[in-house]
């Protein structure tokens, strides 16, 4: 059967578009940030011969729980600004080997590239989110400017940090009622940071890496991008509010509780004083 052009695949186009937007917004300078997207074997088979493995790439992680799963992943060292014009070089479609200690390259990384150095963190977070919600397919990491800035000026307490974001924009509690997770500063690209992130991912879809950036999870590219976008907007408003001076009023806990009831979402237990 004749395969369709992989560059016309919706999942490739989505990766091209979202990385361009993330770069445009200043979230992913240079080669900062990475995205992984769990694909259905059936949809990939329309575009690729799944028996044709281009390369086998070892990974420093035991991914056996994801054996056979197929992902499209941004490449290590690749600039997001280049993805839109060079997807075959900057992106790769990989399948986790049955042993879990390597990935099989099905397409992409055309100039000898490899998956992002944060692949262990992505795979661990995918495993954590799939346990909570089998429909979660996307993990996205970026360096959102205002959330990053907040980690220098705001207490790194999950309850307080979440409440501040909820109070900045009415939509925040509706978009992430479970709040945000925060891990300690850890060297990136390690299994240690992956383990810390994935542990938080069992409870929340937004995890803050202090002085570094944010991890987000969702069912698709739009939901995950929108989740991070909403938290970042709230952090931006917080930045402006702090610059303007004294806070004279904000959304009250009673109003946040009413908001939750109005949109049928349950705020994180104990985060509201009502």
**Phi and psi of 219, rounded to 5°?**
-75, -30
The candidate with the shortest Cα–Cα distance to 101, out of 74, 116, 119, is 119
**Binding-site residues for Zn(2+):** 141, 143, 212
Stretch 151-173: mean pLDDT, rounded? 98
- Quote the pLDDT of residue 209: 98
- Quote the pLDDT of residue 1: 67
Q: Residue 84 CB: number of other CB atoms within 10 A?
A: 16
Please tell me the pTM assigned to this model. 0.96
Domain positions in the chain: 6-144+177-221
Is the predicted pLDDT of residue 188 greater than 80, yes or no? yes
- Quote the pLDDT of residue 125: 97
User: Tokens 């890496």 sit at which residue?
Assistant: 209
Query: In terms of CATH, what superfamily is 6-144+177-221?
Result: Class II aldolase/adducin N-terminal domain (3.40.225.10)
Q: For 30, which DSSP code?
A: T
Across 26-43, b (16+ Cβ under 10 Å) vs e yields ebbeebbbbbbbbbeeee
Q: What is the pLDDT of the chain when averaged over all its residues?
A: 97
Is the predicted pLDDT of residue 219 greater than 70, yes or no? yes
The candidate with the shortest Cα–Cα distance to 142, out of 252, 30, 32, is 32
**Tens digit of each residue's pLDDT (9 = 90 or more) over 100-135:** 999 999 999 999 999 999 999 999 999 999 999 999
Give me the catalytic one of 14, 78, 104, 118. Answer: 118
**Binding-site residues:** 141, 143, 212
**Tens digit of each residue's pLDDT (9 = 90 or more) over 165-181:** 999 999 999 999 999 99
The candidate with the shortest Cα–Cα distance to 71, out of 167, 136, 132, is 136
Looking at the chain, the whole-number percentage of residues with pLDDT higher than 70 is 100
Q: Residue 153 CB: number of other CB atoms within 10 A?
A: 9
Q: Which two tokens stand for residue 13?
A: 């186009």
Is there a catalytic annotation at residue 118? Answer: yes
Higher pLDDT, 145 or 274: 145
């Amino acid at each position: 059967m004749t395969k369709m052009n992989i560059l016309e695949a919706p999942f490739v186009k989505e990766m091209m578009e979202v990385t361009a937007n993330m770069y445009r917004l200043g979230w992913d300078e240079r080669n900062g940030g990475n995205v992984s997207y769990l694909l259905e074997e059936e949809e990939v088979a329309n575009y690729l011969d799944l028996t044709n493995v281009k390369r086998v790439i070892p990974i420093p992680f035991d991914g056996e729980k994801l054996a056979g799963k197929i992902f499209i992943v941004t490449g290590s060292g690749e600039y997001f600004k280049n993805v839109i014009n060079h997807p075959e070089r900057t992106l790769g479609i990989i399948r986790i080997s049955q042993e879990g200690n390597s990935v099989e390259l099905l397409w992409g990384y055309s100039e000898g590239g490899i998956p992002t150095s944060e692949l262990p963190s992505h795979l661990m977070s995918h495993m954590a989110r799939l346990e909570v919600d089998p429909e979660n397919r996307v993990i996205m990491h970026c360096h959102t400017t205002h959330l990053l800035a907040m980690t220098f000026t705001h207490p790194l307490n999950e309850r307080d940090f979440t409440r501040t974001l909820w109070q900045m924009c009415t939509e925040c509690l509706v978009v992430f009622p479970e709040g945000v997770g925060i891990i300690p500063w850890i060297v990136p690209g390690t299994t240690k940071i992956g383990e810390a992130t994935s542990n938080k991912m069992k409870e929340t879809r937004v995890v803050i890496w202090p002085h570094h950036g944010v991890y987000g999870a969702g069912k698709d590219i739009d939901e995950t991008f929108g989740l991070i976008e909403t938290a970042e907007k709230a952090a931006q408003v917080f930045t402006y509010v702090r610059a303007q001076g004294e806070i004279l009023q904000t959304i009250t806990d009673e109003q946040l509780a009413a908001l939750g009831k109005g949109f049928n979402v349950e705020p994180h237990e104990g985060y509201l004083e009502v």
